[in-house]
Amino acid sequence: MTKNGLLLVNLGSPVSPSNKDVKAYLKEFLSDQNVVTLPKWFWQPILRGIILPTRTWRSATFYQHMWTKAGSPLTAYTEIMQQKVQHDLPDWDVQYAMNYGQPRIVDVLREMKDHGDSQIVVLPLFPNYTQSTHDTIIEKVHSTGIKTHIIKNFYDEPKYQQILAKQIDEAYPKKDYDAVIFSYHGIPMSMVKKGDPYKGECEATTAGVMKYLTKVPQSKVKTVFQSKFGPMPWLKPYLKNYLMELAAMGKRNVLLVTPSFVEDCLETIEENNVQNYQTFKASGGIVFDAVKPMNASNDFCHFLADISVKQLRGGQTNESGTHA
Q: Which residues are annotated as part of the binding site for Fe(2+)?
A: 185, 267
Give the Cα separation of 184 and 277 in Å (integer): 16
> Which element (helix H / strand E) includes 279?
helix 277-282
Give the Cα separation of 261 and 236 in Å (integer): 18
**What backbone phi and psi angles, to 5 degrees, belong to 234?**
-115, 180
The answer to whether the CB of 244 falls within 8 A of the CB of 207 is no
The answer to whether the CB of 2 falls within 8 A of the CB of 116 is yes
Is the four-CA dihedral 190, 194, 199, 205 of positive or negative sign?
Answer: negative
Beta bridge partners, 121, equal 6, 149
Q: How far is CA 60 from the centre of its chain?
A: 20
Pairing, β 148-150 against β 179-185: unpaired
Q: What are the binding residues?
A: 185, 267
